[in-house]
Every structure is written in structure tokens, then in C-alpha cells.
Amino acid sequence: KPLLEASEAKPKASPPVWAWPPRPHSLVPPTKPVPLIRGVPEQYALSLLGLAATRTKAVLDRQPPQARPRKPAKPCAARTKCMNVVYAALEDDYPGLLPSMTSALAKSKASEQVCFHIIVPMGSDAGKLCRMVSHYHQANTDRFCSHQPEILPDTEVMCPEHPFQVPDNINVVSTSGVHWSGACYCSSSQVQILHFDPGPYDAMQLISAEDPATLGRRTLDFALTCLDEILLPRIDGSPRIVYLEPDTIVQADLKALMDTKLKDGKVIAPAKACSEVQEDWFNFNSVVVNMTMDREDCVLNTGVFMMDLPKFQSYRIGQRIKELVVRHKIRTIWVKNSIKAPLILALQGHVQRVDSAWDVMRLGIDPNLDGKVLDSAFVLHWTGPRKPWTNNGLYKGRWSKFQTVLPIFHPPKRFSSP
């Protein structure tokens, strides 16, 4: 029986080659251990791997950023209570225009009283601008005010958001011959667009340029010479305005600039910023220049200023500009090829400069500006080619916090008739 059991017993299977521990014949010569991190001792590698695991867990456990708390939109103030802020913009300026407007609202203690007036050249597609305003309005409901239709007269219209130039039924011609058209409101009564057409004006020769690409910019520069004609028929509140260029960011309440006490005879309050002297702009061999200007004085800065429109009109600044243009035809008065030159000369003696913090410039030129100066500035101004919305822009962080990403707009398809 034991013999039978032994014969019936199954032979014991030998372990496979891959079994552990290996058989003596499958042993391989010992090799150096593979380091956890090449070139790093084991004790340090373990510390680094532990730190990486800790950081990975912290990232996975991180909560998503909380959205900026928003207060409900305030109803727009009556037009008689508006604080009027003016821009002049081309289509290329739109990416900077909307963040500048948003920053002005964010820093205002009464944002529902801020009313924007955007001057664009005749023929501009205001529909594109209105779509951008509408999107910013929806994304910043606590900053823009809610539309109150009853505060607008029946003669006022809302701008359509589809591409358009000038509605034919709202053309206006002022009594002095300056033509401007197409006044309408975007999204709410807080934002107004004005299509500007200088028309048959004595200074039209200044606008015409050999380079058609500069025509729109020169037209807007010319608009600064007749802001009283453009805006006084359109505003019901304070006759004072604050003018901002589109490549600015506001860091203080503009009401402080609006409430500047002007001395007798003063019309405009620009910042003390100085980038050029008057000798660079004007011909001092001219009698009118030599009698009214000093060579080393700073040229009037028109990037940010407050203007009293009735005083501008009462001192006949517009008429003075016309006279200077006529005299310039006879003998050269200004050497700088800028439409702002007759405006600057006509305003001599009517300027009251304010704190330079209201226009801190060169943010589009100098990458080494003092951070403390930028922090204390009331208005940041990206003068120069490196605008913050371009690829090589400077100081983007100070601008992007007021930016809202815009959706891609697909224009409606147009089908040809069969």
C-alpha cells in the first residue's frame, strides 16, 4: 500500500523561471540600485518626492476661486445728476476703452451717476461697440447701472447691436455749422455714442492727410476743439466734463477731478504731466506765439483733463481757433503736425493745472517705472506703442483686472437672392 501510494503520487512541479526566489541557475550578477532621482542622493530624493506628493495633494484639495461678490445693479440716475465722462475712440481703441470705463465705475462712490459719452468718427460701426458695452454690462452688473427707459426723452433712441453706421432719422446739425450725427444709447442710458462729422468747417484742411490711415485719428483730435458744440446739446446735468483717452485705467474717484475749483478765467484743468515743451510745437518767430508762450513751458497735456464747457464757449475758444487757423495759412504758427496745436495755443491763459497723479504716463514705453508711483496714481496712461491688450504690452496686471473676456461674435449670414 505505501508503495502503491508512492507510485500514484503526482510529481512535484518545479518552480517556473520567473518564480521568486529564483533558482540558483537563474541568478544574475548583482547591479547597482537604480536611484530614485538621477544625480540626487537617496535621502534627499525621498524628501523631494514627499514634498511633491504634499504639493500635489494641496493642489487637488484646493477649492475653486470664489467669484467676485456682486451687488445688485443700481438704477441709472436721472440725466440731470450725471457726471459726464467723455472718450474719443477708434475701433482699434475698443479693447482699452471698455476696461477704462469699468475702472472709472469701480472707483466711483456713485457709479450710477457716471454717464459716458463716446465720440466716434462718422461711418464707424457702432454696433460692434454696443455689443462690447452690452457684454461688459452683463458681466459687471454691480458696476453698470440698470436701464431706466423713463429717464430718456422720446426723441432719444437705443443703438442696435447689429452692424450699423448712422440712423437716418437722428441726424443733427448744430447752429455753428459743426455736423455731428447718430446719437444713440448702448445697453442703458449710461452709455451714449456720438458719430462725429466735422462737415464744412474752416479747419477741415487740418484733418485731411496724405495717409488715409490717420484720417480717423485726426478727426477725433479735431473733435476736442469743439467739445462744447458736440456735447452741450446732449447733456442735461453738470456742464463740466472729464475727458479720458481710451488707453487709461482709473484708480481714483473722478468726482475729485470734476469738483476742481477753477479760478477766474480758467477753462480747463489738465494734469501737470510734462512730456514735451512748447518750443517743440510752435514757431517762436511768430508774433502771436512769442507774445503768449514761453519756450520751456510744458505743452498742455490733453490725455486727461476736466473742462467747463460753458466757460469754453463764453471765452470764444472755438472762434479763437478759427482765427489761428486762418493766420497759420499766411505764416507758420505751429511746427508740430497736430490738430491739437491751435487748441493748445487758443487755451493759453485759461489753463489751471492739477496734480500730476491724474495722468501718470509712459506705461506703454518704459518697463522700469516706480511701482510706488503707479500705486499712488489716480489715472494710469499707456502712452506709447506697448498697450496692455497687445502681445508685447506692459503692466498688463494693472489693466487686466478690469478686463472682461468677450465672446466671439459671428455676423449674421447674408443670402443672395436667387
> Given a cut of 70, is residue 167 above it in pLDDT?
no
Q: Looking at 88-92, 169-173, 314-318, which range is the least confident one?
A: 169-173
Per-residue pLDDT, averaged over 29-48, amounts to: 62
Percent of the chain with pLDDT over 90: 41
Q: At what angle do helices 94-106 and 126-139 cross, to 10 degrees?
A: 40
Cβ atoms of 75 and 148 within 8 Å: the answer is yes
| Average pLDDT of the residues in 10-21 | 57
For residue 171 the three cell numbers come to 441726424
Q: Is the peptide bond before 149 cis (omega within 30 degrees of 0)?
A: no
Map 9-59 to HEC letters.
Answer: CCCCCCCCCCCCCCCHHHCCCCCCCCCCCCCCCHHHHHHHHHHHHHHHHHH
| 355 pLDDT higher than 50 | yes
Backbone angles phi, psi at 133, to 5 degrees: -60, -45
Q: What is the pLDDT of residue 219?
A: 85
- SS3 state of residue 103: helix
The closest alpha carbon to 117, from 249, 234, 247, belongs to 234
- pLDDT at residue 371, rounded to an integer: 93
Mean pLDDT of 131-159: 79
More confident residue, 346 or 198: 346
Instruction: Kindly report the average pLDDT of the chain as a whole number.
Output: 80
In angstroms, the CA 180 to CA 198 distance is: 7
Distance (Å, whole) CA 185 – CA 159: 5
The pLDDT assigned to 375 comes to: 95
Which pLDDT tens digit goes with each residue over 68-81? Answer: 556 667 888 887 88
pLDDT at 171 over 50: no
265: left (phi over 0), alpha (psi -120 to 50) or beta: left
What predicted TM-score, i.e. pTM, was given to this entire model?
0.77
81 three-state secondary structure: helix
- The pLDDT assigned to 141 comes to 85
Residue 13 has pLDDT above 90, yes or no: no
188 has a pLDDT exceeding 50: yes
Q: With 80 as the cut, is the pLDDT of residue 44 above it?
A: no
Q: What single letter denotes the amino acid at residue 156?
A: E
> Residue 210 above 80 pLDDT?
no
pLDDT at 178 over 50: no
